[in-house]
Homo-oligomer: A and B are copies of this chain.
Amino acid sequence: MSSRHEGSGALPYRQSRATPDQVRGRPLAGSAVAPSERVRVKRLHERGHYDAETIHPILDAMPICSVGYVFNGSPYVTPTLQWREGGHIYWHGSSASRMLEAVAEAEVCVTVTIMDGFVLARSAFHHSAKYRSVMVLGTARKITDRDEKEARLKVFVDSLFPGRWDMLRPMNAQEFKATTVMSLPLAEASAKIRTGGPKDDEEDYKLPIWAGVVPLHMQIGGPIADKLNLAGLAPPAHVTGVKLG
């Protein structure tokens, strides 16, 4: 996804480090300094980034995320879709969901991972991956206000399929009640990125072993129309222009 909503009053992150969170008084840390010790990238710390300019585009490029939480003392991870507005990410689900009940006003860890490729080295040890990932720690908040819920869900639908929300049959009261939206500030977040090819031990470069990168990319297929669509309905531009990764 090339661009997502920046939230009301937000400055475009490409032009300034001032994010909506800064406007609201919760600054995201600069590029080199972790906002907390627990979110600091410790292993291979040169891969760690803490600035909105790095973190936001990763979140915007990949809605698929993993929500980690603790329930009865045990760890759980639930895959779902996230979207970003300004200095928060959001996800949603059924109001009857165990995950959403467990994470409301509770600590969560949300990760987004984009795998860009396998890195093949001359030794097993130096095999690696190209990736862009984000980890967000914090307390998830449940959105209960109907209008706020609607505003967030509209951005979700339109961030994936621009303009689709207004084409749909409007949500009704029962559907709003059955849908829970969670929010999480990006105040405690880090990105971890690895780019480039293999880095081998000096003496291994003389070996006749093929090394390099096998690229990975999330491919979007052509839209498959529902058989029950009314006759003559063409797929709108928003279903043929989807991009991920």
Query: Which chain B residue has the least Cβ–Cβ distance from A71?
Result: B38
A50 at the interface (CB under 8 A from B): no
A230 close to chain B: CB less than 8 A: yes
Closest chain B residue to A118, Cβ basis: B160
A175 smallest CB distance to B (angstroms): 4
Give the distance to chain B from A201, nearest Cβ to Cβ, in Å.
Answer: 8
Query: Which segment, of A1-9, A10-18, A20-28, A90-98, faces chain B?
Result: A90-98
- Nearest residue in B to A75 (C-beta to C-beta)? B68
A208 to B133, CA, bound (A): 39
* Partner of A64 from B113, B209, B212, B228 at Cβ < 8 Å: B113
The CA of A127 and the CA of B161, in the complex, are separated in Å by: 11
Other-chain contact of A73, B70, B179, B244 (Cβ < 8 Å): B70
Known: A67-B77, A120-B161, A212-B224. 10 other contacts (CB 8 A): A43-B94, A66-B79, A66-B111, A68-B76, A70-B70, A76-B109, A209-B233, A213-B224, A216-B218, A216-B219
Q: Which residues of B contact A77 (CB under 8 A)?
A: 66-68, 77, 109-111, 135
A217 contacts which of B120, B201, B219 (Cβ < 8 Å)? Answer: B219
Bound complex: CA of A120 vs CA of B229, how far in Å? 11
